[in-house]
């Protein structure tokens, strides 16, 4: 089951790597929230506000001391923050619940929550007109909020996937960067209507305005450039090469200097606004995702997505003078291959297998020592893995060459490669019948493999974009999660025909079965829920809210406990199968994208895509086990 990311796609899990900054001058080291993704500054009060996407908080930083003075709980997966200095009010866009939190900065309390469009990713405020503009990435709109009454007054259609927004308060013009059609929509604030669309670079992600020169700067993530727009003519006058994957841009109008956060090379490019040339490149934290400038103190604040820090830059010297550091490191994990995408346990041999997507390998872990004992080369981009404990055979779905690799667990070698459907994403084994089922994402089918002969025996049509598949060996029933039509296909393995289609939550990506209770659990990544299906009647009986972007799910039938890997906030949710309620959430590594449990030992294994590790959790204590490297 492969994770297809688009730019940042919002939140991410936790990482704190202090050694990464050993070459940088660490003046302060204080706590902020998890996964800072947006930052805004109130010049009048010298206060910075940082939206922390992974723990649903807003950190309030005193610019005089660079210390956190408050952490405010906001909505789900906050992605953006903006300040209205006229009213001393802060607005936070909450990506997962389509709302904006309104915060009174005198008390640092949320005073109102406003419903906006789908997936708000950026906010800009015009303090002169007291109007806030919210870019909604999933419905291609901008929500207009009257900040006097904090009510939604209008919704404006803009370009495809609006991802950044900025306002020139002097001209009352708003600019919207549309990342999917490489344009900037120009909104006249008097009539709140789009009056022009400007073609810019590829993957326009962020936008900023210099009101002093009436110039707009657009960061283009896909071609590593910044487009310069003359707002008098709404034409691009220059294209500036910057660092790798620029995701944020901000202007200091006092010095006519532009700062660009380059996501993939951990730098900030400094542009002289007079010449529109890069004059310096500054090393900052891991994955700089947003930038804010205090023109009064000539200080720049950079939110670093991957290491929970904010870099503070003195613009006089263009050097980092401080790092404001995140909460705590994730538990140490087992280092495996590149981009681990799936994990599976053989409870009979107490061995763990990890599919590593980027280096086409499977890591074999001895759970007695938690060490990798073997690395097996398989097909192109292995994304899912399943084990038959009765035969000690491992099956690996390789999405780029449309094959399934068969591994003999005794010798840990590939013994056969089987052609299946287009872009296989999920694989599951019925040990009772010695049959393997492979979900093929691109042709909406499930391939049926007879493991005695390792041959394809049937192809079954299912729903749209099947991604997860699971077998109940007790009832000989297969369940397939169809991501694009929000359904689960039910297959009778006696006939290998679909007998039922069940509607579940938004974008189901993985599925697991408790054969002892005949209950099916479905991870729905777009609405942060797990659908609970009664296998006797094949109906959804409950939807359980879990963490952000649940991507994988596993069941321990002995304890009747369900484990969910939440991709975008770096946690595993633990669900009690009796009450179908979340017991606790455990921190894992960065981008946990797959989870499995050994019911014999009650140990849980979580593969973490972005730090190439596997987190080990004790299912009895519900605590992560620290692995010594």
Q: C-alpha distances in angstroms, 422 versus 298, 429, 462? A: 54, 19, 13
Distance separating alpha carbons of residues 531 and 520, to the nearest angstrom:
8
pLDDT value, residue 615: 86
Q: Is 55 within a domain?
A: yes
In contact, 592 and 608? CB cutoff 8 Å: yes
Q: Is 92 within a domain?
A: no
Render the burial of 269-285: b for 16+ CB within 10 Å, e for the rest: bbbebeebebeeebebb
Is the domain of 304 the same as that of 426? no
Q: Is 553 within a domain?
A: yes
- Domain end among 270, 295, 325: 325
In degrees, rounded to 5, the angle at the alpha carbon of residue 144 between the alpha carbons of residues 139 and 145 is 130
> What is the strand order of the sheet 371-377 is part of?
340-346, 351-356, 361-366, 371-377
Domain that holds residue 417: 340-625
* 22 contact partners, CB below 8 Å, separation of at least 6: none
Is the domain of 514 the same as that of 385? yes
Q: Is 93 within a domain?
A: no
State pTM to two decimals. Answer: 0.62
Helix (H, G, I), strand (E, B) or coil at 20: helix
Is the domain of 304 the same as that of 423? no
Distance separating alpha carbons of residues 129 and 256, to the nearest angstrom:
24
Residue 55 structure tokens: 């723990």
pLDDT value, residue 324: 62
Is the domain of 429 the same as that of 540? yes
Taking Cα atoms as reference points, which of 493, 478, 494, 553 lies closest to residue 522?
553
User: Residue 580: which CATH number?
Assistant: 2.130.10.10
What residues pair up with 413 in beta bridges, in sequence order? 408
Q: C-alpha distances in angstroms, 46 versus 297, 301, 334, 367, 559? A: 8, 12, 43, 52, 53
Q: Is 246 within a domain?
A: yes
In contact, 336 and 286? CB cutoff 8 Å: no
pLDDT value, residue 569: 75
Is the domain of 351 the same as that of 286? no
What is the number of domains present in the chain? 2
In degrees, rounded to 5, the angle at the alpha carbon of residue 491 between the alpha carbons of residues 485 and 496 is 125
Is the domain of 279 the same as that of 373? no
Place of tokens 């200080």: 299
Q: Which residues of the chain have pLDDT under 70?
A: 1-34, 306-308, 323-334, 336, 627-629
Q: Is 116 within a domain?
A: no
pLDDT value, residue 157: 97
What residues pair up with 99 in beta bridges, in sequence order? 94, 115
Place of tokens 């993530």: 221
Helix (H, G, I), strand (E, B) or coil at 22: coil
Q: Is 402 within a domain?
A: yes
pLDDT value, residue 627: 64
Q: Is 310 within a domain?
A: yes
Is the domain of 313 the same as that of 399? no
Is the domain of 390 the same as that of 420? yes
- Domain end among 325, 350, 379: 325
Residue 24 structure tokens: 């940088």
What residues pair up with 187 in beta bridges, in sequence order? 174, 194
Is the domain of 317 the same as that of 465? no
Distance separating alpha carbons of residues 7 and 456, to the nearest angstrom:
37
- Domain end among 325, 352, 382: 325
pLDDT value, residue 8: 30
Is the domain of 458 the same as that of 315? no
Distance separating alpha carbons of residues 136 and 613, to the nearest angstrom:
34
> What is the β-pairing status of strands 424-430 and 257-262?
unpaired
Is the domain of 355 the same as that of 291? no
Is the domain of 420 the same as that of 505? yes
Q: What is the DSSP string of 461-527?
A: E-SSSEEEEEEETTTTEEEEEETTTTEEEEEETTTTEEEEEEE-SSSEEEEEEETTTTEEEEEETTT
């Amino acid at each position: 089951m492969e994770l297809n990311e688009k730019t940042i796609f919002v939140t991410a899990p936790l990482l704190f790597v202090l050694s990464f900054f050993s070459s940088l001058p660490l003046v302060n080291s204080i706590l902020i929230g998890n996964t800072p993704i947006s930052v805004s500054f109130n010049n009048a009060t010298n206060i910075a506000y940082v939206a922390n996407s992974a723990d649903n908080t807003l950190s309030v930083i005193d610019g005089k001391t660079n210390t956190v003075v408050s952490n405010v709980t906001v909505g789900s997966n906050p992605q953006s923050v903006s300040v209205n200095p006229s009213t001393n009010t802060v607005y936070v866009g909450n990506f997962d619940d389509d709302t904006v939190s309104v915060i009174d900065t005198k008390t640092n309390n949320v005073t109102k929550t406003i419903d906006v469009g789908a997936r708000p990713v950026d906010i800009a405020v015009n303090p002169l007109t007291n109007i806030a503009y919210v870019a909604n990435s999933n419905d291609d709109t901008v929500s207009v909020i009257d900040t006097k009454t904090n009510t939604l007054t209008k919704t404006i259609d803009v370009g495809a996937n609006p991802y950044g927004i900025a306002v020139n308060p002097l001209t009352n013009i708003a600019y919207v960067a549309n990342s999917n059609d490489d344009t900037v929509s120009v909104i006249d604030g008097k009539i709140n209507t789009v009056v022009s669309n400007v073609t810019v670079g590829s993957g326009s992600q962020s936008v900023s305005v210099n009101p002093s020169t009436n110039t707009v700067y657009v960061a283009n993530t896909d071609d590593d450039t910044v487009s310069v727009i003359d707002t008098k003519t709404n034409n691009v006058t220059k294209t500036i090469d910057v660092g790798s994957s620029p995701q944020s841009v901000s202007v200091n109008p006092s010095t006519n200097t532009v700062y660009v956060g380059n996501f993939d090379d951990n730098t900030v490019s400094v542009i002289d606004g007079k010449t529109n040339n890069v004059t310096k490149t500054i090393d900052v934290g891991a994955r700089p995702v947003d930038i804010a400038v205090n023109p009064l103190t000539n200080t720049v604040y950079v939110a670093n997505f991957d290491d929970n820090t904010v870099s503070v830059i003195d613009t006089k010297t263009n050097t980092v003078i401080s790092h404001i550091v995140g909460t705590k490191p994730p538990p140490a994990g087992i280092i495996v291959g590149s981009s681990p995408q799936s994990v599976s346990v053989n409870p009979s041999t107490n061995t763990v297998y990890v599919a590593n997507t980027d280096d086409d390998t499977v890591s074999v872990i001895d759970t007695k020592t938690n060490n990798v004992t073997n690395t097996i080369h398989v097909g192109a981009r292995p994304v899912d893995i399943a084990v038959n404990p009765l035969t000690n055979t491992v099956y690996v779905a390789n999405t780029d060459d449309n094959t399934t690799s068969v591994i003999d667990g005794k010798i840990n070698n590939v013994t056969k490669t089987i052609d299946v459907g287009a872009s296989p994403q999920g694989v599951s084994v019925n040990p009772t019948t010695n049959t393997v089922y492979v979900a093929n994402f691109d042709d909406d089918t499930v391939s049926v493999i007879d493991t005695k002969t390792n041959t394809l025996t049937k192809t079954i049509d299912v729903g749209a974009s099947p991604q997860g598949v699971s077998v109940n060996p007790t009832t000989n029933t297969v369940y397939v999660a169809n991501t694009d039509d929000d359904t689960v296909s039910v297959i009778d393995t006696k006939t290998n025909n679909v007998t039922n289609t069940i509607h579940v939550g938004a974008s189901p990506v993985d599925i697991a079965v408790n054969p002892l209770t005949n209950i099916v659990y479905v991870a729905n990544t777009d609405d942060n829920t797990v659908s609970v299906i009664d296998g006797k009647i094949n109906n959804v009986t409950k939807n359980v809210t879990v963490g952000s972007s649940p991507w994988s799910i596993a069941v321990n039938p002995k304890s009747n406990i369900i484990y969910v890997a939440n991709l975008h906030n770096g946690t595993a949710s633990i669900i009690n199968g009796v009450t179908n309620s979340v017991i606790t959430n455990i921190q894992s590594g960065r981008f946990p994208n797959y989870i499995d449990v050994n019911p014999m030992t009650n140990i849980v294994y979580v593969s973490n895509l972005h730090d190439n590790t596997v987190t080990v959790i004790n299912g009895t204590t519900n605590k992560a086990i620290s692995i010594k490297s």
